[in-house]
Amino acid sequence: MLFDPRIRPGRIFAALFLSFPLWGQSLEGVVTDPEGLPVARATVALVDLGRSLRTDWAGRFRFPAVSPGKHLLRASSEDFEAVELQITVPEGGAARADVRFREVRKAAASIEVVGEAEETLREIPGSVASVSKEELAVSRPMDANEVLRRVPGVTLREDSGPAGMRLNVGIRGLNPDRSRKVLMLEDGIPIALAPYGEPDMYYSPPIDRMRRVEVLKGSGQIVHGPQTIGGVINFVTPEPPPSTHGSIDVEGGQRGFFAGNALIGGSFRDEAVGWLLNYLHKRGDGFRKLWFGIDDVQGKLTLKPSGRQTVGLKFGFYDEASNSTYLG
């Protein structure tokens, strides 16, 4: 008999469910940094299964329905070197695999003056301040003035034009006029038109596309280039993410203000090749009829031929139309 009318459909479903209770076991764990602190938004992947996810705010991750057996687990983050380990998922019960990063990720296309490792900060002579990407995300500054104003010892003159297009920064009492006494860098590269002869700042990197701002004051600044009498300010842009990732951020406000920032990037060949593309459009009528319009395109390409070598290429395009002269 193919079908017994005495067996109800619900019982058939229950029997099938009990016969196949799970197609696999769950795999969970926590990702931590070298000091044992949780790492949020790290990418965790089961390489052989082609599955990946990101950790939550406490560094936790969980893969449901993982087939029993051996698997390759890989954890990566923009701040740490990737880690791989072999795990074994048992036939019954949940599996656990905690991952700990061992090394801070080496800078690729971005040359960091200060860095984030505590050991590095302690070894730098002088005074160091770093505004992290978390602080930038929370404060959502309109321009770089709002960020640098919080750093002790930094003096700003508020005639930088709308959206802080030409910064006037002084450190420890030095004249802030056009930031002549401060070495201004983006990813470790001077951004003044003539940093040795005429270091006046007629261009300032938009703060919208930065992931960190470093400020160095003291004797340690002399190794980074010319015009370091007052100090060094380094704007650090994002690195290519370990996996393909994109984001769009849009803002609007009074006086015709609009800011749109789009970013997409990724890595492949086990992070041996990474790429990043960032486009920013910003405009507004400003106050006192100081209207402005900015288009900024930045791109990065990183190549890692070996574990100790990194080649970084960076290109940029900046176009500005504004009713603000170089005098503010």
Express each pLDDT in 110-164 by its tens digit.
Answer: 445 555 555 556 666 678 888 888 888 888 888 888 889 888 889 888 776 667 6
- The reply to whether 93 and 122 lie within a common domain is no
| Residue 87, beta-bridge partner list | 71
Q: Indicate if 142 and 205 belong to the same structural domain.
A: yes
Phi, psi of 194 (to 5 degrees): -135, 80
The answer to whether residue 14 is domain-embedded is no
- Does residue 180 form part of some domain? yes
pLDDT tens, residue by residue, 177-223 = 888 889 889 998 898 888 888 888 888 889 999 999 999 887 767 67
Helix (H) or strand (E) holding 137: helix 133-139
CA 53 remoteness from chain centre: 18
Look at residue 15 in the predicted model and tell me its pLDDT. Answer: 39
- Please indicate, yes or no, if residue 328 is contained in any of the structural domains: no
Spell out the SS3 assignment of 161-212: CHHHCCCCEEECCCCCHHHCCEEEEECCEECCCECCCECCCCCCCCHHHCCE
Q: Which pLDDT does position 263 carry in this prediction?
A: 95
193 and 266 share one domain: no
> Rounded to whole angstroms, how far apart are CA atoms 219 and 228?
9
Residues 294 and 266 in one domain: yes
Residue type, 34: P
Q: Please name which of 298, 287, 297 lies closest in space to residue 324, comparing C-alpha atoms.
A: 287
Average the pLDDT over each of 123-127, 258-262, 277-281, 314-318 and give the range with the smallest value.
123-127
Amino acid identity of 308?
Answer: R
pLDDT band at 265 (very low <50, low <70, confident <90, very high): very high
What is the model's pTM? 0.66
In the structure, what pLDDT confidence band is assigned to residue 242 with cuts at 50, 70 and 90?
A: confident
Domain that holds residue 196: 118-236
Q: What is the pLDDT of residue 21?
A: 41
Q: Convert the pLDDT of each residue in 23-65 to its tens digit.
A: 568 899 999 988 888 888 889 999 888 898 999 988 999 999 8
The answer to whether residue 10 is domain-embedded is no
Which residue has tokens 């990194």?
Answer: 310
In a domain, 7, yes or no: no
Domain end position, chosen among 236, 261, 293: 236
How big is the chain, counted in residues?
328
157 within 8 A of 176, measured Cβ to Cβ = yes
Q: Which residues contact 91 (CB under 8 A, 6 or more apart)?
A: 25, 68
Spacing of C-alpha 24 from chain mean position: 35
CATH number of the domain that residue 31 is part of: 2.60.40.1120
Report the number of secondary-structure helices (H) and strands (E) in the chain: 4, 20
Same domain? For 64 and 44 the reply is yes
Clarify whether residues 47 and 132 are in a common domain. no
pLDDT tens digits for range 68-98 = 889 999 998 877 888 999 998 888 777 899 9
Q: Is residue 190 in some structural domain? A: yes
- The DSSP annotation for 243-267 comes to S-EEEEEEEE-STT-EEEEEEEEEE
The answer as to whether 285 is a domain residue is: yes
* 3 state SS of 121: helix
- The reported pLDDT for the residue numbered 250 is 93
Task: Say yes or no: 228 and 142 in one domain.
Answer: yes
Q: Are residues 89 and 175 in the same domain?
A: no
**Rounded distance between C-alpha atoms, residue 140 and residue 94, angstroms:** 41
Domain's final residue, options 203, 236, 269: 236
> For residue 201, what pLDDT is reported?
83
User: Quick one: 28 and 50 in the same domain?
Assistant: yes
State which of 52, 72, 100 marks the end of a domain: 100
- In DSSP terms, 236 is beta-bridged to 212
Asked whether 326 and 164 are in contact (CB, 8 A), the reply is no
One domain for residues 138 and 207: yes
Instruction: Indicate whether 293 belongs to any domain.
Output: yes
Are 67 and 92 within one domain? yes
**Is residue 122 domain-shared with residue 232, that is, in the same domain?**
yes
Residue 272, pLDDT score = 83
Rounded Cα–Cα distance for residues 68 and 65 (Å): 9
Radius of gyration, CA atoms only, the chain: 26
Domain harbouring 177, CATH code: 2.170.130.10
Q: What is the pLDDT of residue 279?
A: 97
Residue 12 has pLDDT above 50, yes or no: no
71, β-bridge pairs: 87
Q: How many domains is the chain partitioned into structurally?
A: 3
Sign of CA dihedral 216, 217, 223, 227: positive
Question: What pLDDT sits at residue 78?
Answer: 78
Which residue do the tokens 């705010």 mark? 57
